[in-house]
Amino acid sequence: MTISPRAKICPPGWAGFIVLQGRAIVTAPNPTAAAAIRGAVAKLSVEDLVDPELLGRALPLEEVLGPATLAYIDGRDFRAAPPGAVQVDRLPAEHSDLHRLENLAGEHQTEESGLREITSPAFTIRICDEVVAAAGYRTWPSRTAHMSVLTAPEYRGRGLARLTGSAAVAHALDAGLLPQWRARATQSKRVAFALGFRELGTQLSVRLKQEVALIG
């Protein structure tokens, strides 16, 4: 377990749990929360740590994000999307056209996608000169590329996420990184599967109740 109020695997001030092939990675926002989590870990199996109901019996949870599946891919398994009728372009991560896409998608979907946090270029699709889909990744420890994909609601179901996601995955692989795809929604999982990702783990983020979350 590590103590970090701004760990990359969960929102700031939250606790994060990742289970990968029978092993757990846990972060706590402060020493008080870490002590409470250690007590819970002693009562639960590794797989139970990413079960909100079981974890909630051992810890006082205020809010939960997930669980979400974590999938990974290497160059041998990557199935690049075939060229579509629309072109995939590249924009800087801070480009103002991405902010317009975020407004189209809404705050919840934008937060879920993680597009605001990417450190790579953004791979985008325009329709009528407006960015309606984008993908990129944020570099995590151990040379992991955490993928982010966002499509405007009215353009979903047209294969745009697969096209932009494919370009972002190719860029990460070329940089010698390990692409990681986090998904809760069924459609997101389908896109990952189409690109060749394999589900290997689960992620859960929790905000502890105030009496535990306070720094001791």
- 10-56 tens-digit pLDDT: 888 999 999 988 889 899 999 989 998 998 888 899 999 999 999 99
Contacts of 186 (CB under 8 A, 6+ apart): none
Q: Are 2 and 8 in contact (CB under 8 A)?
A: no
What is the dihedral angle through the alpha carbons of 65, 206, 55, 197, rounded to the nearest 10 degrees? 50
* 104, 152 Cβ separation under 8 angstroms: yes
Q: 7 burial class (0-12, 13-18, 19+ CB within 10 angstroms)?
A: buried
Span 149-160, average pLDDT: 94
Token pair belonging to 5: 């109020």
In the predicted model, what is the mean pLDDT of the chain? 91
Check if the beta carbon of residue 37 is closer than 8 Å to that of residue 15: yes
| Per-residue confidence (pLDDT) for residue 216, from 0 to 100 | 42
So what's the pLDDT on residue 212?
Answer: 58
The two three-digit tokens of residue 14, written as one number: 């939250």
> What percent of the chain stands above pLDDT 90?
70
What values do phi and psi take at 155, rounded to 5? Answer: -110, 10
Q: What are the structure tokens assigned to 82, written together?
A: 């075939």
Handedness of CA 181, 112, 23, 2 (dihedral sign): positive
Instruction: State the pairing for strand pair 2-3/23-28.
Output: parallel
The amino acid present at 133, given as its one-letter code, is A
Q: What's the predicted TM-score (pTM) here?
A: 0.82
Q: How confident is the model at residue 80 (pLDDT cuts 50, 70, 90)?
A: very high
Cβ distance 44 to 38 under 8 Å? no
**Domain spans, the chain:** 2-69+202-213, 74-196
| Calpha distance 178→167 (Å, rounded) | 14
Looking at the domain that runs over 74-196, which CATH code has it been given? 3.40.630.30
Alpha helices in the chain (DSSP H): 31-43, 52-58, 96-105, 107-113, 160-174, 186-195, 210-213
For the record, the structure tokens of 128 come out as 């009528």
Mean pLDDT value across residues 183-193: 90
